[in-house]
Amino acid sequence: MEKRVGVLVGTKGRGSNLAGLAEAGIPISIVVGADSSAPVHGVALRYGLNWQEIGYEDGYGERLERAFEGCDLICLAGYLRLLPTTVTDRHTVLNIHPSLLPAYGGKGMYGLHVHRAVLEAGEKESGCTVHRVSEVYDEGEIVLQARCPVLPEDTPETLSARVLELEKLTYAAAVRKVLGA
C-alpha cells in the first residue's frame, strides 16, 4: 500500500517546496491551506493535488486533524505558525528550514531574514535542515541537512536561491527516509 503524505502550506510562500515534493514523486494525498487566493493554491492545482481550505478560526486543530486523517506523514511548506498539539501529538510532522539548525532558527527566522543573518555573521557555509516538528519553533529532531558555501559576492537573495535548490532535493530525500521508502 502506498504511503500517504499531507502537506500544510502557508499563505505567503511561492509554493516552491510543495512543487519540489510533487516533482520528486512524493505521494501527496492532500494539501491544506488557509487561503485559496495564495500563490501556493495555484501550485497545488497545477500538479493536480487535492486542496482543502481551512481557516485559522476556533477548532483549527481539530479540523486539521480530520483533514490529515489517514496520512502517514505531514510536511510543512511555508507554514510559519506553531502547530496545535492535537496534530503534533498524533502525527509525524516534518518542516524544512533554510539554515543549518540549530543556527538561525526560531520565531521570526524565515526566508530572507535567515539569509541576511547568515551573511551578517560572516558564515562560510549555509544550507537547509529538515526536522521533526515539536512545540517549539525549529527545535525538533534533525532528520537531514544539506550544505552549500556562502560566496563572497552573495546577497540574501542569491544565497536564498542556492539554498532553495538544496531544499527541493533534501526535503524529498528526508520524506523518503522517514517513510522508509
Query: How does pLDDT run across 21-44, given as a tens digit for each residue?
Result: 999 999 999 999 999 999 999 999
From-to residues of CATH 3.40.50.170 in the chain: 1-91, 97-181
Q: Residue 164 pLDDT more than 60?
A: yes
Q: Residue 120 pLDDT more than 80?
A: yes
Which long-range contacts does 130-135 make (Cβ < 8 Å, 24+ apart)?
130/94, 130/95, 130/96, 130/97, 130/170, 130/171, 130/174, 131/94, 131/95, 131/97, 131/101, 132/92, 132/93, 132/94, 133/76, 133/83, 133/88, 133/93, 133/94, 133/95, 134/88, 135/82, 135/85, 135/88
Catalytic residues: 97
The CATH label, of 3.40.50.2300, 3.50.50.60, 1.10.10.10, 3.40.50.170, for the domain at 97-181 is 3.40.50.170
Confidence of residue 57 (pLDDT cuts 50, 70, 90): confident
Rounded to two decimals, the pTM is 0.94
Class of domain 1-91: alpha beta
Average pLDDT over residues 64-79: 95
Instruction: Answer yes or no: are the C-beta atoms of 9 and 78 closer than 8 Å.
Output: yes
